[in-house]
């Protein structure tokens, strides 16, 4: 009798366990079923719609990557030659260090802060051991690493970003635990910098906030501060004890010459040596100016108060990066190393190629301006802007009409990637814009 009851109890227990497992499985499935569909990335969504468009005159002005005058992606000839050198000389594909190779770090420091032996202030910071540089997964990876670092070690979580800014800035900072808040930057009704309100909005923020600065070719507006305006903004940063975080994705695209596009960095290195802004961080990428988009080659540099703090900061960067991606990819950084190697002779060639790329963009910008109807709209702001984009001032409704009626694809804030414009389509684009503006 007891044995029979024991068997029954055991069977009931087994049935209960099966039911519990079933409930657990159902609960898990229900969680997956409740996951909402995320909205598509705006820029990638534009490219997808463009690809599905059968209009032979269609134009993609959404993608932030260079295209030549035939509308095709390019590989810089200097990059191709660097790869040929690597093919002959490279003997291994071993992991690099967590923060990249020492050679790559040294190149970045000298190129950006010492301006290739032209800047005594930058050289002083390097010699004093106050620059900690880590290779990262291009510009976005650099931003995420510094955001995670600041979330861990900086007491103020508020980060001030210009309005507007690159859309991914806010997403990266939020995901890392920081608290983005906009400061005034651009006045859409005037298609110009909102400079006085920019200063006021920064002055109104609490001391010790983090502030995001675009080094050059502000994305998306293409409007940069003058040297005099930077001096005033940097004085506010000193007064408010802000921590500057500089994003430099387009070095070289303002003037065609990378050394001319880092005036903000020169000012910051000088102030760091004077201990007026003792620390700041720089996120940098070779994606645009070397065309290494898919190689994901960039860096983060942190200027520290002294060599003693540098050791601790470098150790924490390693600790932070290790569980995320362990170490960065090596092919792109090796290309950079070859180009900057004096024995390759490729550095002057790369600089010349970059200058030609920017020259084409400036030429297309001028042609677009020349073909636009000035009687209904003032387009002078297009010629003030610099870099890969024009911030047209067109409304979302006008951009959508361009897409629907003329197969011109751009983000709804009116930002056009001018690398998608060429001699074959500039007149068609200008006429489409003229018709859309006329109709409103």
CATH number, domain of 358, equals: 3.90.1150.10
One domain for residues 333 and 355: no
One domain for residues 291 and 391: no
User: What pLDDT does residue 2 have?
Assistant: 46
**Residue numbers of the chain with a pLDDT score lower than 70:** 1-14, 16-30, 116
Using the structure block, give the residue that is written with the tokens 């540098």.
Answer: 310
29 within a domain of the structure (yes/no): no
173 within a domain of the structure (yes/no): yes
One domain for residues 181 and 280: yes
One domain for residues 287 and 141: yes
CATH code of the domain in which 297 resides: 3.40.640.10
One domain for residues 252 and 378: no
90 within a domain of the structure (yes/no): no
Contacts of 80 (CB under 8 A, 6+ apart): none
One domain for residues 254 and 380: no
One domain for residues 231 and 304: yes
User: What pLDDT does residue 5 have?
Assistant: 54
28 within a domain of the structure (yes/no): no
User: What pLDDT does residue 307 have?
Assistant: 95
- How far is it, in rounded angstroms, from Cα 102 to Cα 382? 41
One domain for residues 232 and 376: no
CA distance between the termini of the chain:
91
- How far is it, in rounded angstroms, from Cα 197 to Cα 176? 28
376 within a domain of the structure (yes/no): yes
Q: Answer with the one of 285, 305, 340 that is the final residue of a domain.
A: 340
**Active-site annotation, residues:** 166, 247, 288
φ and ψ at 222, to 5 degrees?
A: 75, 5
Q: Answer with the one of 340, 359, 377 that is the final residue of a domain.
A: 340
Peptide linkage before 185 cis (omega within 30 of 0): no
One domain for residues 164 and 204: yes
Element (H, E) at 135: strand 131-137
Query: CA 260 from chain center: how many Å?
Result: 19
329 within a domain of the structure (yes/no): yes
One domain for residues 209 and 282: yes
User: What pLDDT does residue 3 have?
Assistant: 47
One domain for residues 333 and 354: no
313 within a domain of the structure (yes/no): yes
What's the domain range around 61? 43-76+347-439
- How far is it, in rounded angstroms, from Cα 40 to Cα 5? 60
One domain for residues 306 and 421: no
DSSP β-ladder status, 389-391 and 415-417: antiparallel
Q: Answer with the one of 275, 310, 340 that is the final residue of a domain.
A: 340
- What is the domain count for the chain? 2
User: What pLDDT does residue 116 have?
Assistant: 67
18 within a domain of the structure (yes/no): no
């Amino acid at each position: 009798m007891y044995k029979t009851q024991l068997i029954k109890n055991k069977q009931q227990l087994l049935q209960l366990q099966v039911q519990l497992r079933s409930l657990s499985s159902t609960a898990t499935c229900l969680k997956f079923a409740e996951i909402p569909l995320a909205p598509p990335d705006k820029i990638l969504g534009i490219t997808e719609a463009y690809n599905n468009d059968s209009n032979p005159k269609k134009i993609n002005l959404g993608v932030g990557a260079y295209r030549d005058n035939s509308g095709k992606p390019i590989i810089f000839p200097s990059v191709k030659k660097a790869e040929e050198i690597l093919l002959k000389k490279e003997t291994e594909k071993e992991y690099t260090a967590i923060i990249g190779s020492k050679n790559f770090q040294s190149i970045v420091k000298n190129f950006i802060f010492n301006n290739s032996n032209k800047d005594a202030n930058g050289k002083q910071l390097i010699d004093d051991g106050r620059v900690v540089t880590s290779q990262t997964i291009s510009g976005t990876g650099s931003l995420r690493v510094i955001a995670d670092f600041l979330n861990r070690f900086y007491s103020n979580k508020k980060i001030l970003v210009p309005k507007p800014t690159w859309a991914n800035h806010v997403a990266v900072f939020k995901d890392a635990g920081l608290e983005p808040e906009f400061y005034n930057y651009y006045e859409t009704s005037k298609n110009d910098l909102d400079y006085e309100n920019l200063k006021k909005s920064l002055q109104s923020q609490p001391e010790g906030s983090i502030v995001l600065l675009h080094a050059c070719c502000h994305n998306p507006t293409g409007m940069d501060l003058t040297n005099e305006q930077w001096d005033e903004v940097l004085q506010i940063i000193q007064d408010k004890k802000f921590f500057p975080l500089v994003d430099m994705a387009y070095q070289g695209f303002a003037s065609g010459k990378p050394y001319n596009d880092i005036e903000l960095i020169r000012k910051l290195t000088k102030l760091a040596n004077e201990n007026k802004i003792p620390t700041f961080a720089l996120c940098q990428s070779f994606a645009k100016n070397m065309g290494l988009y898919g190689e994901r080659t960039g860096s983060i540099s942190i200027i520290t108060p002294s060599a003693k703090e540098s050791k601790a900061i470098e150790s924490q960067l390693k600790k932070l990066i290790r569980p995320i991606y362990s170490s960065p990819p090596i092919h792109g950084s090796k290309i950079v190393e070859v180009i900057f190697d004096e024995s390759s002779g490729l550095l002057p060639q790369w600089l010349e190629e970059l200058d030609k790329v920017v020259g084409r963009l400036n030429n297309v910008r001028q042609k677009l301006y020349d073909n636009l109807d000035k009687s209904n709209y003032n387009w002078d702001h297009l010629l003030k802007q610099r870099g890969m984009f024009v911030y047209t001032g067109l409304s979302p409704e006008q951009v959508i009409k361009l897409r629907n009626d003329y197969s011109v694809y751009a983000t709804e804030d009116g930002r056009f990637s001018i690398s998608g414009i060429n001699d074959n389509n500039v007149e068609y684009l200008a006429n489409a814009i003229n018709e859309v503006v006329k109709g409103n």
